[in-house]
Structure 1
């Protein structure tokens, strides 16, 4: 809302609601109290995880903790399969002195844009959805080297693909490209 509070509702058996272990479903918008004192300016939700960005450029994630295949899109480190049911600060950005400007959640991955125009990705790596030239999953956010000499101004994440808009208006896409989801159609 206008005060930076986050409200969730719906079904969240994997912690997607951010309301703790005991609340799996709510029918009306419910305040995520764990973010009390945090002024949230952007939220993105996917099938099993949620990300919230505050006005200080800090990123919080919660939801599905992944499996032994390390497919968690939370960016909180190696997963033991435990779901994260409360918003948790993604420390990588704090440790690297990065201020996050935008975030978008894909089906099993997450994309972030730094205030400096740098693209970061993490989560499930199949289909090239992380854009790093590999098919391995990442437990922590990592910057994309491809964009090192470029400035990006917007991002988007789809089910198994991602997009970035450069400051000169060019759009880049990577990941699964069935039905031309990540590249222009002819």
Structure 2
């Protein structure tokens, strides 16, 4: 237990704070001007400075400079910002698909599951084709383990993002139409898709639509997710 009083350090006069998000080892500051500053541990790209170095002082995320941000969130080793226009920018660690980009680990697991289901059928097809899978042109998939600068994620083309929250290794976002989308690590059921499957692509949580509920806010714990909803009134004839 610390017996000393909390440490106080004043920010630079131009850094007027609007909100602050804390990750496992880093901080994301949203200024009143809409600029984003980060500092702390940077080993997983969570600071968004196109590198893996740590920062002791708040440093502007230059990739977002000139764009007005309205909200920020931080996970274990990833960060998120929402623009005034409802666009979602993410950066940092993506091993579990938490920033919505292709994850090698998740795709490998899905491929293994598909191969087990296909079984001998795939082997027969290779034999009949007479093609050596090691010969000829190969298609190289692009996987992202660390995204060291903000990347724009198109969660849904039909509407904007209203609010977002991050767990340790998952992310949840609410749209302006009241839908909840989740992605990342799902082995504790934190994605709400009635499975324990992880996902590196945003997927809508269908439960709320089925129950005629509109999501208005979401808060992620380390391994869980809480949503605030409004029950939609069904018009009576």
- Normalising by the smaller structure, the TM-score range is 0.7 to 0.9
- Contact (CA 8 Å) 1:76, 1:91: kept in 2 or not? no
**Using the alignment, how far apart are the partners of 1:78 and 1:25 within structure 2?**
24
Match of 1:50 in 2: 79
- Contact (CA 8 Å) 1:99, 1:115: kept in 2 or not? yes
- Contact (CA 8 Å) 2:82, 2:163: kept in 1 or not? yes
Q: Does 1:98 pair with 2:123?
A: no
Greater share of residues in helix:
2
Match of 2:205 in 1: 144
Q: Does 1:9 pair with 2:39?
A: yes
**Using the alignment, how far apart are the partners of 2:171 and 2:155 within structure 1?**
14
Q: Does 1:112 pair with 2:173?
A: yes
Point out where structure 2 has 5 or more consecutive residues left out of the alignment: 1-30, 105-142, 232-237
**Using the alignment, how far apart are the partners of 1:87 and 1:49 within structure 2?**
10
Match of 2:230 in 1: 167
Match of 1:122 in 2: 183
1:127 is paired with a residue of what secondary structure?
coil
**Using the alignment, how far apart are the partners of 1:135 and 1:163 within structure 2?**
17
Equivalenced residue count is 161
Point out where structure 1 has 5 or more consecutive residues left out of the alignment: 169-186
| 1:24 to partner: Cα distance | 1.2
2:203 is paired with a residue of what secondary structure?
strand
| 1:151 to partner: Cα distance | 0.7
Q: Say which of 158, 166, 175 aligns to 2:221.
A: 158
> Kindly tell me: are residues 63 and 51 of structure 1, through their superposed partners in 2, closer, same or farther at Cα, counting changes over 3 Å?
same
| 1:81 to partner: Cα distance | 5.1
**Using the alignment, how far apart are the partners of 1:81 and 1:117 within structure 2?**
29
- Poorly superposed stretches of 4+, deviation over 2 Å: 76-82
1:128 is paired with a residue of what secondary structure?
coil
